[in-house]
Chains A and B, each alone.
Chain A
């Protein structure tokens, strides 16, 4: 029964773009070398193309002659519940859907989105790691994967307002910009939330947060459950429509940006004429247009580097903007890790991996490689634009007893405001 649900999902999702890419694969195995999980752990099952196995089998066995032939000849088995359990661990715990593999694939197969489809089948079959399912359930019922209730949210916002002495408008009628934060920022990195508020206030932006659309993180998207993905985005869009804003600014969360910017228009109705921006590109725009001014060289004292988040940089294209800001903040001490930009290595915590306890070992093993990249350039601090990455950095750096400091870009910009 589970398998049937998964297979039906695969059949539903298998359009020409899925089929043509599955057909294009030559089984060269190059993608394995791009996967940080394979590189760190050496398990051949972590090869990105192997993660597509359930989808490939469903496609070939249901839709192609060759697949049916293989079944008949006993060269291949049908998908079973056990297979789903097996691949569930692989696609949720050893993949951040970072899509780096697509960039090394000689055929250019978009492995990331295809793995997302594999996850969709798992989600439909209910074969999702417990921690992830639990967080998703919390977001569905309470409104936040971290279990932040409406009350807690208000209290927290008030606290931040007091603590940082910054004005955070909530549900402000007539606002032009809706800023949606993550509960990670709210609970763990309030400094970043405060920083964003400071910057926007300084720029004289007519903005607001919303108590109805208060969570930008999308655990439905991690799970790849389409209905939940839509539901979580719908809450934000509804708030935006009610407030009548012109822009929705996604705060520092990668998957959320990906879902809102690139996926939402394709799976649901989105409010017309509302621009979707990531906070980092928005801050850059404010700086570029002169609405905020920055103190040059404010952080030039120690080596600082930038971590590219897979969903914001590689999948979002916001590569130039944070760098331009950092070159103002730290003109001499800013150093690039290798690899970087679109080819950067994922932190290992994205795609919901960080919320799964069983994946901790994987996560740390991958982060070790990131740490080596940091050490290579003797970075003393690292800056990023995704609180999920930031969570992974903070947690893993502590795990490895490293002294490298972690910053959100907004936090640095706020400190350098003049």
Chain B
């Protein structure tokens, strides 16, 4: 039996055509098409409106199977997605547009769950999208993170083999995240560091912005391919600009007005948080554009500097409240004194050599000087 298209599935659930078109518009927005230049983002599709592109896809394509694996993580990205700005839409995407296997969210548990995953993989082999949350661990063949007796490495390789595309959500899955923070005992790494033969897209963030994850899933569904990415495999529509670029406090930055502490007048006035350690200038993410909690706010807006959570090694990039321009390794007093001491010691040693040279020069000069010149004055010279 031919699989039902998404449109057919939704119509069966009682969605009117009018609501369907509205949904398509919303989806187009979620894909990030609204704030990337349409021509650039759509590439081949310049004439039809984004909504029509989405509608066309939903009418012709079946639901997208998704397998969602968790490794070394806090489930924060899943949490975020389950409470995302538009719960009904989130549900809609995860329940009606996609079919998924998600260990944390699914009702089944234990062997049942494992069986469900195996079935899902077999049924949609080569077609499903693999979403990874949490970092794989390389140390000791991955024994620090196992599910049902299988190491996370085996699980990842197994699931990746049949995936059409892989989406690494959250900083952990993208770059290793917090588990990879120094000294990284489990040798946590990003998914893309392990899987080289499948298209991988990273949605870093701590957590990843839910709309970006769902938006990327929808993009794959609608366009049939992963969005264009930057050098960190981050989808450009969402990671094309820095927090600083879109910051609502930017005018204060330009004017040189900075909050000096969290409770000063500058902080109350909403001045720039750069001096409080904001990493906005080097952090590429869509926080400022999408915001969180139904577009309510995001860290910088709420008065907290950006931590740079969508960048590799954000955990080790100097203190969160340390200015971004500050060196990350600071010389303490003892080592400074040691260095000065070393300089002084070498200097003194070579100065000793120079002193020898000097006295030798004096001696040779004395010898060379004609005895007659000196006589009269020499005798009277100070000893």
Contacts and interface: CB of A to CB of B under 8 A. Distances in A.
A–B direct contact (CB < 8 Å)? yes
B369 interface: yes
A5 B365 contact: yes
Given A8-B361, A8-B368, A12-B365, 7 more contacts: A8-B362, A8-B364, A63-B357, A65-B350, A227-B374, A227-B378, A231-B376
Interface of B: 350, 354, 357-358, 361-362, 364-365, 368-369, 373-374, 376-378, 380-382
Interface of A: 4-5, 7-9, 11-12, 14, 62-63, 65, 124, 140, 225, 227-228, 230-231, 234-235, 238, 268-269
19 contacts: A4-B364, A5-B365, A7-B361, A8-B368, A11-B357, A12-B358, A12-B361, A14-B358, A63-B354, A65-B350, A227-B373, A227-B378, A230-B377, A231-B376, A234-B377, A234-B380, A268-B381, A269-B380, A269-B381
Contact of B361 (A11, A225, A234): A11
Contacts of A8: 361-362, 364-365, 368
Contact of B365 (A9, A140, A231, A268): A9
B31 to A, nearest CB: 60
A227 B377 contact: yes
A145 B178 CA distance: 88
A293 to B, nearest CB: 42
A268 B357 contact: no
Max chain A CB contacts within 10 Å: which of B350, B376, B378? B376
Nearest to A268: B381
A231 B377 contact: yes
A124 B365 contact: yes
B373 A12 contact: no
A16 to B, nearest CB: 10
A9 B357 CA distance: 11
Nearest to A235: B376
A154 B378 CA distance: 29
A11 B369 contact: no
7 closest A-B pairs (Cβ-Cβ)? A8-B361, A11-B361, A230-B377, A231-B377, A234-B377, A227-B373, A12-B361
Contacts of A7: 361
B362 A12 contact: yes
Contacts of B368: 5, 8, 124
A273 B374 CA distance: 25
B383 to A, nearest CB: 10
A239 B326 CA distance: 70
A65 B346 CA distance: 12
B382 A62 contact: no
A5 B382 CA distance: 24
Nearest to B374: A227
A11 B358 contact: yes
Given A5-B368, A9-B365, A227-B369, A268 B377 contact: yes
Contacts of B377: 227, 230-231, 234, 268
B370 to A, nearest CB: 9
A230 to B, nearest CB: 4
A63 to B, nearest CB: 5
A5 B363 CA distance: 11
A131 to B, nearest CB: 20
Nearest to A59: B354
A11 B357 CA distance: 8
A268 B354 CA distance: 25
A268 B382 contact: yes
Contacts of B381: 230, 268-269
Nearest to B359: A12
A8 B363 CA distance: 9
A234 B362 contact: no
Nearest to B363: A8
Contacts of B380: 234, 238, 268-269
B365 A62 contact: no
Nearest to A124: B365
Contacts of A62: 354, 357
A225 B374 CA distance: 11
A231 B361 contact: no
Contacts of B350: 65
Contacts of B361: 7-9, 11-12
